Amino acid sequence: MAQKGSISVNTENIFPIIKKFLYSDHDIFLRELVANATDATQKLQKLAGIGDFKGELGDLTIKISVDKDKKTLTISDKGLGMTEAEVMKYINQVAFSGATEFVEKFKDVDTTSIIGKFGLGFYSAFMVAEKVELITKSYQDAKAVKWTCDGSTEFSTEEIEKAERGTDVVLYLNTDSEEFLEDHRINEILNRYCRFMPIPIVFGKDAEKVKEGEEEKTIEKDHVINAVQPLYTRDPQSLKDEDYLNFYRELYPMAEDPLFWIHLKVDYPFNLTGILYFPKVKNDITLHKDKIQLYSRQVFITDNVENIVPEFLRLMHGVIDSPDIPLNVSRSYLQSDANVKKISNYITRKVADRLEELFKSDRVLFEQKWESIGLFVKYGMVTDEKFFEKAQKFCLYETLEGKFFTLDEYKEKIKDNQVDKNGNFTLIYTSNPAQQDIFIRAAKNRGLDVLKMDSLIDNHFISNVEYKFEKVRMKRVDADTVDKLVETDTVLDVALTDDQKKQVDEIFKKATNNDKLDLEVAAMSGDEMPVTIVRPEFMRRMMEMQELSGGNGGMFGFNGFGAEKVMVNGNHPLIQKLLTVSEDKQTQLARQAYDLALLAQGMLKGEALTGFIHRSLEIAE
Ligand SMILES: Nc1ncnc2c1ncn2[C@@H]1O[C@H](COP(=O)(O)OP(=O)(O)OP(=O)(O)O)[C@@H](O)[C@H]1O
C-alpha cells in the first residue's frame, strides 16, 4: 500500500541540524549505514541458527556501489530486510527518535569531544544526501517496499518489485558531497571504519592474473575490504607468533616489529577483546603515542583512547574492542564511568602480569629489551599506583657495565660501600656517561657503583623511587665531591688554616671576576682535582623541574647551567702552591684550575674557552 506522510517531529527542522551538526566528520555516515547492513545480516544468521529462518542464506556479502551519472551511492545487504510496517516503525520512529535524541543531547556540546560520534544511525545519511531511498524486502513473506525521503520531514512509501531479500540504501548525494562518488574516498573510509567488520564488504574490483592451461589471463574480482575474523577475535591458543607479527604489520605498515604482545579477552564483568603490542620505543615518546585503535563490535570508533587506557599504556599499539565503553559521552565523563575504570584497571593488571611472566620466564631476553620495556615500566610506575606495586618486582636498574638488577638485588650489591651514616642506600647514577666521565671515574676509583639513568623518564622516576622506597637516596655522580657522595661520619682534615682558606677564596673570586662565586675550600683527597664543580642534587632537581615547566630558573637565580658549587680541594698541591706564588701567577693558576673544572662539566664555552686555550699555551711555553 502506497503511503505518504510526515515523520512526527518535535523539532521542525531536524535535517538541517543533522547536516550541520557533524560537519567535521561527514565520513561516518558510511560507517553507520554499513554497520546497519552488518547488523541486519547478523540478525538473519542468528534467526537461521535458531531455526526461525529456514531459507537459503546464500552469499551475504554487503556491496557498496557508486553511480557517477546518477550521483548515487548505494549500500546493499542480504540481511533480514523489513516489511512495510517495520519500515514505518524502525525508520520513521526508531531511527528518527534516535536522531532527535542525539541532536537534543549534543546540541550544546563540541562534537569533537564525543568519542566516535556514535548514535546518529540511519539519519546520518542526510548529512551527505539530498534524497534517500530505502528499498527493502523482508525475509518474511511480504512485498518489497521503497521508502523515499528528500531530507524534509515528508516521506513516501510504495510497493515495488525486488528479487532478493535484503536492503538497498540509495543516497542521492548533494552537491557538497560529490567527493563520495570517488573510489579513493570510499576506499579510504571503508578501510578506516570497516576493515574488521564481521560480514564481507566489497567495493570495486581487483585485477587478478590466473593461468588457464598455458595462457595467463587477467580476471576481475570483487575487492573485499575487510577481514571478517580479525586476529584479536580468534582463540589465542590457535595463534602463532607470526600471526601476531603479521597483524601488527598490517596495522602499522611503517613500524618496526614489536617486542611482544598481550592478547586480551574477557567476558565478565565487561566484555573486551584486543591485542596490545609493546613497540620498540626510542627516546621520542610522542612518536609512539596514541596508536591504539578502539572498536566496538568490530566497528572502528576512534584512535584516541585517552581516559580509557591508562596514560602510560597509550604508548602501546594495537586494537581494543569493547561494546561496554560508553561512546557517546564526553571525555570528562568517561573518567568517572565505572566500566571504563574497570577496563582500565584490567588492562593495567594484564600488562603488569605479562611483564612479570616475561621477566620470570626469560630474564636474559627481558634485559635485552629493557631499553624499550623500561620506558613503559618507569612511566607506569611514576603515573599509576597500582602498576607501581606490581612493577617493583621486575623493574630493573642498569649499571654502567650493562648489568641489570632489581632494587633488592642492587641493595645487596652495594650494601657494603654505599650505605650512608643514616642507613640510607645511596644509589649513584649518571644521566650522561660521556659528559660526566671524570666524575664516574672518580667514583669507580673509590669502589662506588654507578647506575645508568639516561632515559627521558628517568628524572621523574628517580624522584619517585626516593618517595616510594624508604631508606633509598639517589645522587647524580656529580652531586658532590666523591668522598661526600655517600655521607659518612669520617671527616678529612684540610691542610690549610682558616686564614689560608679565606685567602684562597679571595684569589678565586678575583681570578674569576666574580664576587658571588659559591665556593667552598674543602677537605678532599690529594688525588682529586684541585677544583671541582658539583651540582647539589636537590637544587639541581628543583631547577630541572622549573625548566620542564617552562620557567628559566629565575626564582632560584640559576644561570644557564643550573645550580653549581665550586669545591676547592684544600689538600691539592696546586692549591697549596697558590699561596706561595706572585699575585699574577695566583690569578693565572686559579683561573686555569677553575676553567679545568668547568671543562670537566662541559661548561666552558665561547670567550672563556678561547681564553683558556690561550692561557694553556702561555703556560706551556
Ligand atoms: N539495512 C537495514 N536492514 C534492516 N533493518 C535496518 C537497516 N538499517 C536500519 N534498519 C532498522 O532501522 C533501525 C534504526 O536504525 P538506526 O541506524 O537509526 O539505529 P540503530 O541501528 O538501532 O542504532 P545506532 O544508533 O547504533 O545506529 C535499526 O534498529 C533497524 O531495525
Report pLDDT digits (tens) over 270-294. 899 999 999 887 766 666 677 899 8
CA distance 468 to 122: 53
Q: What is the pLDDT of residues 112-134, one digit of tens each?
A: 444 344 456 888 888 899 999 99
The confidence score (pLDDT) of residue 105 equals 63
124 lines ligand 1 (CB under 6 A): no
Q: Whose CA is nearest to atom 14 of ligand 1?
A: 95
15, 38, 75, 122: residue to mutate for ligand 1 pocket, most atoms within 8 A of CB: 122
The residue ranking higher by pLDDT, 540 or 111, is: 540
Distance 75 CA to ligand 1 centre (A): 13
Distance 205 CA to ligand 1 centre (A): 28
Task: Return the CATH architecture of domain 238-361.
Answer: 2-Layer Sandwich (3.30)
Average pLDDT, the chain: 87
Decide: 567 and 530 in contact? Cβ < 8 Å: no
- Domain coordinates in residue numbering, the chain: 13-205, 238-361, 396-484, 498-551+560-620
ipTM value: 0.97
Annotated ligand binding at 167? The verdict is yes
The confidence score (pLDDT) of residue 511 equals 92
Phi, psi at 472, each rounded to 5°:
-125, 125
Q: What is the pLDDT of residues 313-354, one digit of tens each?
A: 888 999 999 988 766 555 566 666 777 888 888 999 999 999
Q: What percent of the chain has a predicted confidence (pLDDT) above 90?
A: 57
Q: What is the pLDDT of residues 178-225, one digit of tens each?
A: 999 999 999 999 999 999 999 999 999 988 888 888 888 888 999 999
The confidence score (pLDDT) of residue 100 equals 67
Q: What is the pLDDT of residues 538-561, one digit of tens each?
A: 888 888 777 766 655 444 444 444
Distance 32 CA to ligand 1 centre (A): 9
- Inform me whether the pLDDT recorded for 48 exceeds 60: yes
167 lines ligand 1 (CB under 6 A): yes
Q: Where residue 102 falls among pLDDT bands split at 50, 70, 90? A: low
CA distance 197 to 201: 8
Q: What is the pLDDT of residues 55-82, one digit of tens each?
A: 999 999 999 999 999 999 999 999 999 9
- Inform me whether the pLDDT recorded for 260 exceeds 80: yes
Q: Whose CA is nearest to atom 11 of ligand 1?
A: 90
Query: Following CA atoms 612, 613, 619, 621 in sequence, which dihedral angle do they give, to the nearest 10 degrees?
Result: -160
Q: What is the mean pLDDT of residues 140-157?
A: 89
- Inform me whether the pLDDT recorded for 165 exceeds 60: yes
15, 39, 169, 298: residue to mutate for ligand 1 pocket, most atoms within 8 A of CB: 39
Q: Whose CA is nearest to atom 30 of ligand 1?
A: 90
The confidence score (pLDDT) of residue 305 equals 83
Q: Which among 57, 94, 102 has a CA at the least distance from the CA of 77?
A: 57
Q: What percent of the chain has a predicted confidence (pLDDT) above 70?
A: 87
108 Cβ partners below 8 Å, 6+ apart? none
DSSP line for 475-507: EETTSS-HHHHS--S--PPPSS-HHHHHHHHHH
DSSP line for 272-321: EEEEEEEPPP-S-GGGGSSEEEEEETTEEEES--TTTS-GGGGG-EEEEE
Beta-strand pair 201-212/62-67: parallel
What are the beta bridge partners of residue 79?
none
What are the beta bridge partners of residue 63?
76, 202
CA distances from 147 to 3, 39, 77, 200 (A): 9, 20, 16, 26
Distance 94 CA to ligand 1 centre (A): 8
Query: Following CA atoms 106, 109, 112, 116 in sequence, which dihedral angle do they give, to the nearest 10 degrees?
Result: -30
The confidence score (pLDDT) of residue 19 equals 57
Report the range of poorest mean pLDDT among 53-62, 119-128, 143-152, 520-529.
119-128
The residue ranking higher by pLDDT, 154 or 186, is: 186
Task: Return the CATH architecture of domain 396-484.
Answer: 3-Layer(aba) Sandwich (3.40)
CA distance 375 to 156: 61
Q: Residue for cell digits 602501546?
A: 316
Question: What is the radius of gyration, based on Cα positions, of the chain?
Answer: 35
Distance 134 CA to ligand 1 centre (A): 12
Phi, psi at 299, each rounded to 5°:
-105, 125
Using the atom order of ligand 1, give the atom closest to the CA of residue 96: 18
- Inform me whether the pLDDT recorded for 22 exceeds 80: no
Annotated ligand binding at 36? The verdict is yes
The confidence score (pLDDT) of residue 11 equals 44
The residue ranking higher by pLDDT, 215 or 144, is: 144
- Inform me whether the pLDDT recorded for 516 exceeds 60: yes
Q: Which CATH superfamily is domain 498-551+560-620 in?
A: Heat shock protein 90, C-terminal domain (1.20.120.790)
The CATH class given to the 13-205 domain equals alpha beta
Q: Whose CA is nearest to atom 9 of ligand 1?
A: 36
The confidence score (pLDDT) of residue 7 equals 61
The confidence score (pLDDT) of residue 539 equals 84
Q: Residue for cell digits 523515499?
A: 148
The confidence score (pLDDT) of residue 544 equals 79
Decide: 429 and 455 in contact? Cβ < 8 Å: no
CA distance 507 to 355: 58
The confidence score (pLDDT) of residue 148 equals 95
